[in-house]
């Protein structure tokens, strides 16, 4: 496996570079901020003035389902007006450049901007805002239209948003765990790292040997866990980062193509195939 030139290296080892490099991305609300969707925490966050742990819980929904639905319906309508930004698109370019099966995108976001941008292998581990499910019979469907204040299922029970609240088990963990163990590059974009288990993925991937890269407008608390960290908006940093990686891939491929192959191009076969 070839590696990228040292000018992009800020830490241990070297960034693996080949179209079959196994790249896993973890995205959070920050990647959709430039699409006009507010993040959860911090200034202007969705939760400003509210503790998320008190709203995004099954207990809150049982206590006041109409209030929780108001919150989610407003976000569903905001999603109608939002479009993917340059950061979402850069991840599509990266996926398309890699060998099929080499790229996976784990997102904590419940918006569908990665999917709408064209990402193929997406694991929305905290659910999907466009979908609803029944609290009784388990019926599950995509509902894009405006919903009544308290939507109900054909069976008569209350519907809930198909999202993962605190205390509930995130989705796709059976698919995510092996990805973390096999990742060679683990790229973390726009997440505060406050919510587990997602916040622990970087440690798992790093412990398994992945090269770890961060993109955020703020420094990471666990900065030691990153081999490279790019401070800035995802919509600016990510396209540049991906362009750089793809350019480096092309350079490596050109070098490989121009390198004389022992015993084939020069007609001097070397027993043992040393190169
Ligand atoms: C930009 C940018 C730009 C801005 N460019 N960057 C005590 C200790 C440890 C854990 C626990 C504990 N007590 C309870 C727990 C577990 C709990 C937890 O983690 N709680 C913490 C609060 C402590 N977790 C759970 O309950 C989870 N389930 C669970 O653990 O089950 C047990 C289990 C585990 C493993 C296996 C099996 C079982 C469930 C968590 C569910 C989270 N749900 C939510 C709501 C989803 C629905 C909805 O959207 O409404 O998910 S909460 C909310 O936080 C949402 C997000 O996905 C999640 C993460 O937020 P995110 O994406 O990081 O957003 P922000 O706002 O925090 O950060 C934005 C970042 O972007 C910032 O860093 C900015 O700087 C940056 N940024 N603009 C780049 N332009
Ligand atoms: Zn039902």
Distance CA 235, CA 246 (A): 17
Q: What is the mean pLDDT of the chain?
A: 89
Quick check: is 126 catalytic?
A: yes
CB 36 within 8 A of CB 78: yes
User: Strands, DSSP E only, in 53-180?
Assistant: 103-107, 122-124, 127-134, 140-142, 159-163
**What residues are in contact with ligand 1 under a 6 Å CB criterion?**
28-30, 33-34, 39-41, 45, 52-53, 56, 108, 110, 126, 163-170, 173, 190-192, 194-197, 215-218, 233-234
Looking at residue 16, the DSSP 8-state letter turns out to be B
CA dihedral in degrees (224, 228, 234, 238; nearest 10)?
A: -160
The gap from C-alpha 154 to its chain's centroid, in whole angstroms, comes to 34
Q: What is the mean pLDDT of residues 122-149?
A: 97
CB 83 within 8 A of CB 35: yes
* Residues with Cβ within 8 Å of residue 70, at least 6 apart in sequence: 149
Whether the bond into 197 is cis, omega within 30 of 0? yes
CA dihedral in degrees (195, 201, 202, 208; nearest 10)?
A: 160
Q: Listing from the earlier edge strand, what are the strands of the sheet with 159-163?
A: 140-142, 127-134, 159-163
Q: What is the mean pLDDT of residues 266-272?
A: 43
Q: Ligand 2: distance of its center to the CA of 235 in Å?
A: 40
Q: Ligand 2: distance of its center to the CA of 151 in Å?
A: 11
Using CA positions, which residue lies closest to atom 80 of ligand 1? 233
C-alpha dist (Å) from residue 159 to 110, 152, 162, 181, 196: 17, 5, 9, 36, 26
Whether the bond into 180 is cis, omega within 30 of 0? no
Distance CA 189, CA 19 (A): 21
pTM above threshold 0.85: yes
- For residue 154, what are its two tokens? 């054909």
Distance CA 84, CA 112 (A): 9
Using CA positions, which residue lies closest to atom 11 of ligand 1? 196
pLDDT value for 80: 95
**Superfamily of domain 1-37+84-126+170-275, CATH level 4:** TPP-binding domain (3.40.50.1220)
User: Strands, DSSP E only, in 29-169?
Assistant: 103-107, 122-124, 127-134, 140-142, 159-163
Q: Look at residues 149, 155, 37 and name the one whose alpha carbon lies nearest to residue 87.
A: 37
* Residues with Cβ within 8 Å of residue 259, at least 6 apart in sequence: none
- The ranges of the chain annotated as CATH 3.40.50.1220 are 1-37+84-126+170-275
pLDDT in tens, 75-96: 999 999 999 999 999 999 999 9
pLDDT value for 259: 87
Domain 39-81+128-163 bears CATH identifier 3.30.1600.10: yes
Q: Ligand 1: distance of its center to the CA of 164 in Å?
A: 10
pLDDT in tens, 183-220: 999 999 999 999 999 999 999 999 999 999 999 999 99
Higher-confidence position of 122 and 17? 122
- The ranges of the chain annotated as CATH 3.30.1600.10 are 39-81+128-163
Asked if the model's pLDDT at residue 171 lies above 80, the reply is: yes
């Amino acid at each position: 496996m070839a590696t990228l030139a040292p000018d992009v290296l800020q830490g241990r080892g070297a960034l693996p570079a080949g179209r079959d490099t196994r790249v896993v991305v973890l995205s959070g609300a920050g990647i959709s901020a430039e699409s006009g969707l507010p993040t959860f925490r911090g200034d202007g966050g969705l939760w400003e003035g509210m503790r998320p742990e008190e709203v995004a819980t099954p207990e809150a929904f049982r206590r006041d389902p109409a209030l929780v639905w108001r919150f989610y319906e407003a976000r569903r309508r905001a999603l109608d007006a939002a479009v993917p930004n340059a950061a979402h698109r850069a991840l599509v370019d990266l996926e398309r450049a890699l060998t099929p099966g080499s790229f996976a995108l784990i997102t904590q976001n419940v918006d569908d901007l990665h999917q709408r941008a064209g990402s193929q292998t997406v694991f929305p581990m905290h659910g999907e805002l466009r979908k609803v499910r029944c609290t009784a019979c388990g019926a599950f469907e995509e509902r894009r239209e405006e919903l009544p204040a308290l939507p109900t299922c054909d069976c008569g029970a209350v519907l809930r948003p198909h999202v993962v609240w605190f205390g509930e088990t995130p989705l796709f963990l059976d698919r995510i765990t092996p990805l973390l163990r096999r990742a060679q590059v683990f790229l973390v974009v726009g997440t505060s790292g406050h919510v587990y288990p997602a916040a622990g993925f970087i440690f798992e991937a790093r412990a398994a040997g992945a090269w770890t890269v961060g993109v955020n407008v703020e420094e990471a608390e666990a900065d030691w866990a990153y081999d490279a960290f790019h401070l800035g908006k995802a919509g600016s940093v990510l396209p540049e980062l991906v362009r750089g990686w793809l350019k480096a891939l092309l350079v490596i491929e050109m070098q490989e193509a121009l390198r004389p192959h022992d015993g084939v191009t020069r007609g001097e076969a070397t027993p043992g195939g040393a190169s």
